[in-house]
Amino acid sequence: MPGLSAELVQQLYRTPPDRFVAARDAAVAEARRAGDATTARQLARLRRPTVAAWLVNLLAIGRPELVADLVQLADALRVAQRELRGPRLRELSAQRRAVVGALVAEVRKLAAAEPDAPPASRLPLAEVEATLNAAFSDAEVAEQVRAGRLLRAASYAGFGEVPRPQLRLVTDDDEEHEEERPARRPGPQRGRPEATPRTDRAAERAEQAERAAQRAARAERARQRRALDRELAKAQADQERAETELTEATGQERDGVAVLDRLEAELAELERRRAVAEQDLSRAKLARRAAERAVTVARRRAGEVEAAVEALAAEEGDADAGGGAAD
């Protein structure tokens, strides 16, 4: 996954399943805030594992060396089965049981060390054991286990990569019967020269059946993969379209917020200027009223002075008139 670090993926798959979605969504949001749309898309495609799958992932991430031993033993076991090596197969089967038991015990320890893990009584250890056994039978399951990105538990009722009819040839009872059969036959053992051709024919038929089963399994996987690829392409296209719409809507929202902020700033300035104008108007009204009062006082005073002047002029006229009569 270009742009997506393995450490981040491991951190997410170490997270208990009930907290996985929240942790993944937080990582997606962080990637989007950082402008990394590719990483955000890749993170969004990660799916929550089941509890059993989470426990197996915990083992793969916490103890990768033990899982590597399991994968190596699984490869050897599949080779032994394909080659019909009975004694070697029994030896490896015993090792498989011991390894699976040890790994289940290690899973229990790792879960106990996780603060948010379910209680020990509720751990699906049977599903963990079934998944580990399936890894011995299916190389794809083994690779998923090794990668630590398992999404659900796996199981396999048979043994080997695909069901193989020749498995009956290597059971303990059959081996004992094959060894005891010559001893129970009386007289010359005429059947022994034909044993090798029969075994060869049986092995050939089993190999042909195996190849046919493998071809059928590959064809079915290819069909499923094509269907999943189509669904994935459609889902990715829908996601791309939704993310484009989200980006456009986010930009429009950002622009709208900027316009609203600017209008609110302008409105605040207008409110400030209105308050100043109202104060100036109040002061002007007070000044006008004071001027009106002053004008009234001045007019009244002027009238009084004019009356005094007229009275003085009248007195002077009377005085002048009296002096002329005396002469």
Q: What is the pTM of this model?
A: 0.47
Q: Please answer whether residues 66 and 103 qualify as being in contact, where contact means their C-beta atoms are separated by less than 8 angstroms.
A: yes
Higher pLDDT, 324 or 199: 324
Does the pLDDT of residue 43 top 70, yes or no? yes
Q: From residue 223, give the alpha-carbon distance in Å to each of 124, 216, 218, 233.
A: 32, 10, 9, 15
- Select the highest-mean-pLDDT range: 85-89, 156-160, 212-216, 285-289: 285-289
Distance of alpha carbon 283 from alpha carbon 261, whole angstroms:
33
C-beta of residue 114 within 8 angstroms of C-beta of residue 58: yes
Question: Lowest-pLDDT range, 22-31, 52-61, 261-270?
Answer: 261-270
> Nearest Cα to 170, choosing from 69, 97, 70, 92?
92
| Sign of the C-alpha dihedral computed for residues 82, 86, 88 and 92 taken in this order | positive
Contacts of 136-144 with C-beta under 8 Å, sequence gap 24+, read 136/70, 136/73, 136/74, 136/77, 136/78, 136/96, 137/74, 137/78, 137/161, 139/74, 139/75, 139/78, 142/70, 142/71, 142/74, 143/71
- Helix, strand or coil for residue 114? coil
CA 148, distance to chain mean position in Å, is 16
Higher pLDDT, 29 or 262: 29
pLDDT per position as a tens digit, 85-143 = 667 777 877 888 888 999 999 999 999 988 888 888 889 999 999 999 998 888 888 88
Read off the pLDDT of each residue in 275-294 and give the average, rounded to a whole number: 90
Q: In angstroms, rounded to a whole number, what is the distance separating the alpha carbons of residues 137 and 73?
A: 11
What pLDDT is recorded for position 160? 46
pLDDT value for 130? 93
Residue in the structure block whose two tokens are 């081996």 = 175
What is the per-residue pLDDT for 254?
Answer: 83
What integer is the mean pLDDT of 155-163?
51
Distance of CA 172 to the CA centre of its chain: 49
**pLDDT tens per residue across span 169-208:** 333 333 333 334 443 444 444 433 333 454 556 556 656 6
User: What was the pLDDT predicted at 155?
Assistant: 80
Which are the contacts of 210, defined by CB distance < 8 A and separation ≥ 6?
A: 82, 162, 164, 166
Mutual angle of helices 64-82 and 125-137, in 10-degree steps = 50
Q: How many residues does the chain have?
A: 327
Residue 292 has pLDDT above 60, yes or no: yes
Question: How high is the pLDDT of residue 194?
Answer: 39
DSSP state of 42: H
Distance CA(101)–CA(127), nearest Å, equals: 13
The pLDDT assigned to 175 comes to 37
Task: Quote the CA–CA distance of 210 and 217 in Å, as a whole number.
Answer: 10
Task: Give the per-residue pLDDT at 214.
Answer: 72
| Alpha-helical regions (H) of the chain | 6-14, 17-33, 37-44, 51-62, 64-82, 86-113, 125-137, 139-147, 172-184, 192-326
pLDDT band at 64 (very low <50, low <70, confident <90, very high): very high
pLDDT in the model for residue 1: 42
What is the model's pLDDT at position 206? Answer: 58
Exposure string of 124-134, with b = 16+ CB inside 10 Å and e = fewer, is bbebbbbbbbb
For position 204, what pLDDT does the model report? Answer: 64
Task: Tell me the Cα Rg of the chain.
Answer: 49
Mean pLDDT of 238-265: 83
Q: Output the average pLDDT for the chain.
A: 79
CA dihedral 304→310→311→315, nearest 10 degrees, is 160
- Look at the alpha carbons of 291, 296, 302, 304 in this order and tell me if their dihedral is positive or negative: negative
